Amino acid sequence: MTTVTRRGETVELGGELPAVGSQAPDFRLTRADLSDVSLADYAGKRKVLSIVPSLDTPTCAMSLRQFNQKAAAMDNTVVLNISADLPFAMARFCETEGIDQVESLSLMRDRAFASDYGVLQLTGPMAGITARAVIVLDTDNTVLYTELVPEIRQEPDYDAAIEALQGG
């Protein structure tokens, strides 16, 4: 079983991150306008999946801001911020913060993403939502890079994700 920590306490996760070189599992997530999307909606684009527990935390908010600045400006690339937050809350946060280069997607209707991508917290006070991870996909949804952040309260390695994008 995969584990991470939150404030030093072990948190068990369900599943494993997709392996580098493998095909990313399809998903069904919900946009701010309440429409559902899947990987097919981003066909032909490189994708950064920035998976966070909730935008309502300082670290998650910082991740969103960083990817809005760093990765979203890259050609043929979409940054998807994925969390258990409701689409309304995500849209309000992005509008307030001036986040316009990242698309926020919610697990609201289908939590299978969290299990399929190996980020579902099974234990701890935030059981049922996602751990923090970054997954970079090429235009054909092949996994180029993964990072499961070992301490949920830490930021991911933005530079490594950007480097994977530049190489893919």
According to DSSP, the β-strands at 29-30 and 36-37 are: antiparallel
Is 95 among the domain residues?
yes
Query: Structurally, how many domains does the chain consist of?
Result: 1
Give the residue numbers spanning the domain of 145. 15-167
Q: Span 72-84, mean pLDDT?
A: 88
Q: 131, exposed or middle or buried, with CB in 10 Å at 0-12, 13-18, 19+?
A: buried
Is 5 among the domain residues?
no
Distance CA 19, CA 93 (A): 32
pLDDT value, residue 71? 66
C-beta separation of 36 from 161 below 8 A: no
94 is an active site residue: no
Distance CA 29, CA 2 (A): 24
pLDDT value, residue 30? 97
pLDDT value, residue 60? 62
Is 84 among the domain residues?
yes
pLDDT value, residue 133? 96
Is 26 among the domain residues?
yes
Reading across the β-sheet that carries 46-51, which strands appear in turn? 36-37, 29-30, 102-106, 77-83, 46-51, 133-137, 143-148
Q: Span 129-145, mean pLDDT?
A: 96
pLDDT in tens, 17-59: 999 999 999 999 999 999 999 999 999 999 999 999 987 776 7
Say which residues have a Cβ less than 8 Å from residue 19's Cβ, sequence separation at least 6. 143, 146
Looking up residue 39, the CATH number of its domain turns out to be 3.40.30.10
Is 163 among the domain residues?
yes
Q: Please, what's the largest Cα pairwise distance for the chain?
A: 40
Is 83 among the domain residues?
yes
Q: Which of 51, 60, 105, 120 is catalytic?
A: 60
Report the sign of the C-alpha dihedral through residues 109, 81, 61, 120, in that order: positive
C-beta separation of 67 from 81 below 8 A: yes
Q: Which residue's structure tokens are 């697990």?
A: 107
